[in-house]
Amino acid sequence: MISNHAVARILREIGLYLEMQDIPFKPRAYEKAAEEIESLSESVSALYKEGGVKALKELPAIGQAIAEKIEEYLTKGNIMYYEKLKKQIPVDLEALTGIEGLGPKKIKVLYNKLKIKNLKDLERNAKNGKIANLEGFGEKTASNILEGIEFQRTSGIRFILGHVFSDIELIIERLKSVRGVTHAISVGSARRMRETIGDADILVVAKKSLAVMQIFVSMPEVVRVFAQGSTKSSVQLKSGLQVDIRVVSRESLGAALNYFTGSKDHNVALRKIAIKKGWKLNEYGLYQRPTYRTGKQVKSDPPPSRLRRAGRRQGWKMIAGRDEEGLYKKLGLSYIEPELREMTGEIEAALRQAQGKHPGLPRLISYNALQGDLQIQTNWSDGAHSILEMAKAAHAQGLNYILITDHTKRLTVTHGLDARRIQQQWREIDSVNKKMRGKIKVLKGTECDILKNGTLDLPDSILSKLDVVGVSVHSFFALSKKEQTTRIVRAIQNPHVDILLHPTGRLLNKRPSYEVDMDEVIRVAKTTTTALEIDAFPERSDISAEYIKKCVNAGVKMSISSDAHATSHFAFLRYGVGLARCGWARKRDIINAWPEKKMKKMLK
């Protein structure tokens, strides 16, 4: 079966070829179509099989022409239009565009003049001076290309937010200590709390940018400076992480936050609204056209410093942008939380809300809403710390209850518990509860293995005595979608089962989820009142925002758990809340944002 990625890639390449020919707008159309396909959760192939060209056309950014090309690719294995384009410039576009600074125009020249087709050709010609001699190229371009080859971004790999969050915070603290800096804020996909980020984006407010930029590019962990200007710089760190910075003046904070937080599509949508109203939106503010009155000159802005002047044209009057709230308001929208800015209906909802219509924006669960944690491993299985240590750490995090969920015996590598040992564990939990004297309640639970046939690794007689039963898949990832779905559905149909843990089994940057029909799982979970977990352990981040939204819409409740294996891991809960917010979840959707009694009653 042809993957979405393969379809997206070919569409993206068509876009690049059209850009080489300087054709306007079409490249953007193909690029948008490629992005749409790439971000699709279901398979295009399956979608086409079910609904044909008509179904494809219903996707945003896909019209008749592109739908037919996708059809051609899925049924014949190639697209004539693409093959023709490729024949003219038969190069490895994916590899070449992966070099920072190389785009379609340069790639075209490199092929036409030097027959450069791939990275090998590129390196050879950069070294032997042929590239530097090309018209429009030069020594610097050639050396940048060589550097680009050396630093070649491990293609497509994104950083896991939880792994780099503290690195970003460190840089931010450093910038905050620079004289004249009043704000340094993590923006981009990190502010939107996406589980992975392509780079770190930082917004700084300062009257003068020079010192900030100098300090930024000379930080000890910087290995490469992509660009250094007065408002914008970009570097690469030892870790491979790219960091982009923008410095603006205080009056533009709102507009700059909005711009630099994104997402790009969200920005473009807001800018279109501004255009419709006869205004202009950029990272400096929302501006009104100069209104010329006969014989009178429009009052121009106060004498500008370099930063104030940037991005402005004479006479444009700033009407919003000092803060984000005011910006959205002026555009006729309710304020949209960063986690929602993904062009998944938030603009329409914000418009409705501002007009008093329904449904408006969700009241997202807040970052301090969690009262408990429902997945915790201890040294009874593969955790590092004792029940008491975990209880104390959870209490310090402000939690009122935790559920102990050690693995079960099938997971031998984790020393999983069998019926006998879990009963011994209950005695220890009882004693910890006595020691904690009501400061925190430790509940008896399990992360019970789902066996191949959908039965469970602990007998019902044990499960029935637990406060909350979590189940999860740790084996037979390769089952067919149908078998895997049947297996999981069978497990959650066991009346003792309360929560399906890390439901899709993905490990970011390591392995994709197993094949499972999540729509079916969600449908069944609704009938069995089973909760689905939002596992906040950074490389899991499971379920994803997309499925969270489906649960919210289906009325299926969720838990947010740290999946802590050590006392420090309770900090992960924050990422779980962020992920829940990305999925439009409210307090009422998250069972451990409720008091223990209410939570347990719902699961009964």
Partner DNA sequence: GCCGTTTTCGGCCCGACTGTTTTCAGTCG
Taking alpha carbons only, the member of 418, 381, 379, 542 closest to residue 472 is 542
Instruction: Establish whether the linkage from the previous residue to 595 is cis, with ω within 30° of 0.
Output: no
CB nearer to DNA: pick between 302 and 438: 302
Choice from 127, 238, 276, 439 touching DNA (CB under 7 A): 276
CB nearer to ligand DGT: pick between 184 and 468: 184
Fill in the DSSP letter of residue 340: G
From CA 67, how far away is CA 301, in angstroms rounded? Answer: 49
Q: Which ranges in 177-209 belong to alpha helices (H)? A: 188-191
Buried b / exposed e along 493-505 (16+ C-beta atoms within 10 A): ebebbbbbbbbbb
Give 62's contacts (C-beta < 8 A, 6+ positions apart): 33, 36, 37, 56, 70
Minimal distance in Å, beta carbon 362 to DNA? 22
Q: What's the chain's length in residues?
A: 604
Q: Which part of the chain contacts ligand DGT (CB under 6 A), choosing from 118-126, 259-267, 318-326, 443-451? A: 259-267
Choice from 228, 263, 288, 528 touching ligand DGT (CB under 6 A): 263
Minimal distance in Å, beta carbon 197 to Mg ion? 6
Binding residues vs Mg ion (CB under 5 A): 188-189, 199, 201, 244
Minimal distance in Å, beta carbon 190 to Mg ion? 7
Minimal distance in Å, beta carbon 274 to ligand DGT? 11
The interface mask with DNA, positions 143-182, x = CB under 7 A, is: -x--------------------------------------
Instruction: Establish whether the linkage from the previous residue to 543 is cis, with ω within 30° of 0.
Output: yes
Residue 539 touches ligand DGT, criterion: CB under 6 A: no
What is the SS3 assignment for 33?
helix
CB nearer to Zn ion: pick between 196 and 377: 377
The interface mask with DNA, positions 84-123, x = CB under 7 A, is: -------------x-xxxxxxxxx----------------
From CA 437, how far away is CA 395, in angstroms rounded? Answer: 12
Determine the residue with CB nearest Zn ion. 472
Decide which of DNA, Zn ion, ligand DGT, none touches 472; Cβ closer than 5 to 8 Å per partner kind: Zn ion
Identify the residue whose tokens are 């079916």.
520
Give 584's contacts (C-beta < 8 A, 6+ positions apart): 340, 362, 364, 548, 549, 552
Supply φ then ψ for residue 239, to 5 degrees: -65, -10
Dihedral sign for Cα 141, 145, 151, 156, please. positive
Q: Work out the burial of residue 434: count CB atoms within 10 Å of its CB; fewer than 13 is exposed, 13-18 middle, 19 or more buried.
A: exposed
Decide which of DNA, Mg ion, Zn ion, none touches 66; Cβ closer than 5 to 8 Å per partner kind: DNA
Q: Which part of the chain contacts ligand DGT (CB under 6 A), choosing from 64-72, 177-185, 193-201, 581-589? A: 193-201
From CA 260, how far away is CA 271, in angstroms rounded? Answer: 13
Three-class SS string for 91-143? CCHHHHHCCCCCCHHHHHHHHHHHCCCCHHHHHHHHHCCHHHHCCCCCHHHHH
Minimal distance in Å, beta carbon 449 to Zn ion? 9
Minimal distance in Å, beta carbon 503 to Mg ion? 28
Decide which of ligand DGT, Mg ion, Zn ion, none touches 264; Cβ closer than 5 to 8 Å per partner kind: ligand DGT
Total chain residues near DNA (CB under 7 A): 67
Choice from 122, 125, 194, 283 touching DNA (CB under 7 A): 283
CB nearer to ligand DGT: pick between 264 and 598: 264
> Interhelix angle for 119-127 vs 139-150, to 10°?
140
Decide which of Mg ion, ligand DGT, Zn ion, none touches 262; Cβ closer than 5 to 8 Å per partner kind: ligand DGT
Residue 133 touches DNA, criterion: CB under 7 A: no
The interface mask with DNA, positions 246-265, x = CB under 7 A, is: ------------------x-
Minimal distance in Å, beta carbon 567 to ligand DGT? 30
CB of 280 within 8 A of CB of 286?
Answer: yes
**Which residues, in sequence order, are bridge partners of residue 395?**
none
Total chain residues near ligand DGT (CB under 6 A): 15
From CA 366, how far away is CA 578, in angstroms rounded? Answer: 9
Decide which of ligand DGT, Zn ion, DNA, none touches 227; Cβ closer than 5 to 8 Å per partner kind: DNA
The interface mask with ligand DGT, positions 73-112, x = CB under 6 A, is: ----------------------------------------
CB of 341 within 8 A of CB of 263?
Answer: yes
Choice from 104, 162, 188, 321 touching ligand DGT (CB under 6 A): 188
Minimal distance in Å, beta carbon 177 to ligand DGT? 24
**DSSP-derived secondary structure for 522-561:** HHHHHHHTPEEEEE-STTT-BS-HHHHHHHHHHT--EEEE
Minimal distance in Å, beta carbon 192 to ligand DGT? 7
Footprint on this chain of DNA (rule: CB under 7 A)? 19, 22, 24-26, 28-30, 32-33, 57, 60-67, 97, 99-107, 132, 135-142, 144, 188, 199, 201, 227-234, 242, 244, 264, 267-268, 271-272, 274-276, 280-284, 310-311
Footprint on this chain of ligand DGT (rule: CB under 6 A)? 188-189, 197-199, 201, 244, 259-264, 267-268
